[in-house]
Amino acid sequence: MRKWRPIDEVSMRHFWVKVFAVLAMALGGGHVAVAQSPAMQGSAATVAIAPRLHFSPEEMRLAKAAASDPALAAFYGANGLKPVFTGPEGKVRRQALREAITNMPAHGISVSRYRPQALAAAGEDLAAEMMHARMLARLIHDLTGGVIDPAKAVPGVHRKVSRPSAARLMGKFVLSDDPAALLSGLAPQNRAYGALQTALQEMSALSPPTDLPRAPEAVWRLGMRGDGVLPLRERLASIGFAADSSDPRLYDEALSQAVARYQQAVGLDPDGVAGPNTIRRLNSDGVDARSRAVLIALERMRWMGDEDLEKRLVWVNIPEFTARILEGGEEVFRTRVVVGKTEADMQTPEFSDQMEYVVVNPRWNVPRSITVKEYLPKLKANRYAVSHLDVVDGNGNVVPRDNIDFARYTAANFPYRMRQKPSGDNALGLVKFIFPNNWNIYLHDTPTKYLFAERQRAYSHGCIRIGDPFDLAYQLLSQQSDDPRGVFHRALDSGRETWLHLKPNVPVHLVYFTAFPDDAGNIQYFNDIYGRDATIWSLMEKAGLDLGA
């Protein structure tokens, strides 16, 4: 049980500061008048409105109740400290909120997160007003940027979630002629999110009722007979795969065909044999690995809710080992990629940025982490090791190796950089694609082409190697030149490092979807190579997402 602690004077002062801030916002609908300097005064000067000096007891109570929540404080302050969930109009808003909550499982979010039973039992007092307002703010938060904040909780995810103002959307909700429609439109509206929702709905339809007896694990083939066939039939029939029989304990042809149809529907080999994998899936609560992948994908899409995915963009799905150019949501280019290794310090991070340059004949400025971890020990043993790289001082000058006592230095104090000249053997190949970022991640060519024949392609130090780099360059340059090949090859033939500025810049999204729709809307599944889904799933469970309801 929590111990009672007296509220100290500083905490009480902070509380009243928040209350007065709410009252200040209520002075004329959220605007506080300020005195103007003589230089600002003139024909365009704003006439200050006299502030309210008195507040009713009800308004004071509302201000106190909202003060601890910034979104509610801003909303009620701008709304003149008036309740919005009472009276006839409040009834319409309460119904719209409860309708939206009922529909949250379609987004993979549990209704329990919004306390529907408590809302249904609430009256029209201040506590009920605050409960409805808090649940509205929570629902807005969840649909417009996801339930969890990935950058704070998931290693390797540097995605900045940009959420709209909850107070502003609450204001729109109150003024809307159709508040239910306003709430239903808050989630991402792109086709990928819709396809994932459809997949989730179909998966839910393939989950038998929880009150049915489970089928014992076994291997059932044509002609076999036993009591275990009875619950197998019952569970299949409950989700639309009925197989009527005069002998329900017999595993007959009709039942085998029903099992095959079920297997095909859930992504199993449709051999018509009810083995352990089939029976486990049929006995599950619907939250298998694929369901989890879809739920996580929906959450990831909400993190990107502010991104315009209909623009021309570069889309790199890390666990798919694939990069695409999309236009209007349609694929116009695709290539295989190699991504970062599975070691924690070499994984490719997730973030979005703007691609600014195609760099032809690039020099490779070796990242310091690689220099001191991999190359410095070799140079200590043999100063002429890794001879394909130049040793460079802070001014960019090449330093003869004979002038350096490598044994003097450690990873902490090594004062030099390493750089590779442009060449076909350069670690970056003949072209790289730059979108300046804090993690020094970019797309590039590579001389090690054989790795693109592998199915699992996690071999780099974090950057993304492109299987068809010239074709990618042509596509990116095609928006600014009638002869993108000519532009590229003139720069290539020069032998010099050449930076080609992309006009306009192209959005690039490094994403991590283990479930994502293809062009036909069918969900494709990929391995969780970095184990990030497991971390996200744990956070989703704690946040109260729908894990099988």
Q: Please name the residue ranges forming H helices in 126-165.
A: 126-143, 150-153
Residues 104 and 168 in one domain: yes
Cα 278-280-286 angle, rounded to 5 deg: 100
454 shares a domain with 314: yes
Q: Is the same domain home to 437 and 321? A: yes
Q: Are residues 165 and 255 in the same domain?
A: no
**Domain presence at residue 427:** yes
Q: Report the 3 state secondary structure along 196-213.
A: HHHHHHHHHHCCCCCCCC
Distance CA 387, CA 391 (A): 9
- Dist. CA 532–CA 317, nearest whole Å: 14
Instruction: Spell out the residues 6+ positions from residue 156 whose beta carbon is closer than 8 angstroms to its own.
Output: 347, 348, 349, 350, 530, 532
Q: Same domain for 278 and 312? A: no
Both 384 and 513 in one domain: the answer is: yes
Asked if residue 87 and residue 217 are part of one domain, the reply reads no
Show the domain range for 125. 9-32+48-184
Same domain, 394 and 477: yes
Q: The pTM is what?
A: 0.81
In a domain, 492, yes or no: yes
Does one domain contain both 241 and 317? no
- Which segments of 106-192 are extended strands (E)? none
Please check whether residue 221 lies inside any domain of the structure: yes
The count of domains in the chain is 3
Structural domain ending residue among the three candidates 238, 268, 283 = 283
Q: Is the peptide bond before 57 cis (omega within 30 degrees of 0)?
A: no
Domain-embedded: residue 127: yes
Beta carbons within 8 Å of 45's beta carbon, 6+ residues apart: 36
**And the tokens for 532?**
């990030």
Q: Are 335 and 466 in contact (CB under 8 A)?
A: yes
Longest dimension (CA), the chain: 98
82: in domain: yes
Q: Kindly list the catalytic residues.
A: 444, 463
pLDDT tens track of the chain, all 549 residues?
Answer: 444 444 454 454 555 555 556 555 655 544 433 333 333 344 444 444 455 557 889 989 998 999 889 999 999 989 989 999 998 899 999 999 999 999 999 999 988 899 999 999 998 899 999 999 999 999 999 999 999 988 887 889 999 899 999 999 999 999 999 999 999 999 999 999 999 999 999 888 888 887 889 999 999 999 999 999 999 999 999 999 999 999 999 999 999 999 999 998 887 899 999 999 999 989 886 677 888 999 999 999 999 999 999 999 999 999 999 999 999 999 999 999 999 999 999 999 999 999 999 999 999 888 888 999 999 999 999 999 998 898 999 888 999 999 999 999 999 999 999 999 888 888 999 999 999 999 999 999 999 999 999 999 999 999 999 999 999 999 999 999 999 999 999 999 999 999 999 999 999 999 999 999 998 999 999 999 999 999 999 898 888 744 433
Domain of residue 524, CATH code: 2.40.440.10
- Asked if residue 138 and residue 226 are part of one domain, the reply reads no
388 and 423 co-located in one domain: yes
Is 352 within a domain? Answer: yes
**How high is the pLDDT of residue 549?**
36
DSSP reduced 3-state for 78: helix
Q: Per residue, what are the HEC states of 18-58?
A: HHHHHHHHCCCCCCCCCCCCHHHCCCCCCCCCCCCCCCCHH
Let me know if residue 102 belongs to a domain: yes
Whether residue 278 is contained in a domain is answered as: yes
Give me the pLDDT at residue 547, please. 42
The CATH code of the domain that includes 275 is 1.10.101.10
What is the rounded distance in angstroms from the CA atom of residue 442 to the CA atom of residue 428? 10
* Same domain? 456 vs 382: yes
Q: Which of 133, 150, 184 is the last residue of a domain?
A: 184
